[in-house]
């Protein structure tokens, strides 16, 4: 699914960068999403937040 229509950046590309980046802003800096109209920024931040919740949940499950 395309998240950033200005630069044709997919959710898969964003998810691939999340592990390398500390924040949603870092993800956007690396892939270019959010640098034009900005309408995708909330979606990128949501993907990062979803990833962080998933990581925390899986860490709790193993403790």
50 Ramachandran zone, left/alpha/beta (phi>0; psi -120 to 50): alpha
* Helix boundaries (H) for the chain: 11-18, 24-31, 41-62
Q: Residue from 8, 16, 23, 38 that binds ligand FES (CB under 6 A)?
A: 38
**CB under 6 A: which stretch of 10-18, 19-27, 36-44, 55-63 binds ligand FES?**
36-44
Q: Which of residues 14-33 bind ligand FES (CB under 6 A)?
A: 33
Q: Residue from 31, 34, 47, 48 that binds ligand FES (CB under 6 A)?
A: 34
């Amino acid at each position: 699914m395309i998240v950033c229509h200005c630069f044709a950046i997919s959710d898969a590309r964003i998810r691939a960068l999340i592990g390398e980046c500390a924040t949603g802003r870092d993800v956007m800096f690396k892939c270019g999403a959010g640098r034009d109209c900005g309408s995708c920024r909330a979606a990128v931040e949501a993907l990062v937040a979803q990833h962080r919740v998933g990581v925390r949940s899986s860490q709790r499950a193993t403790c």
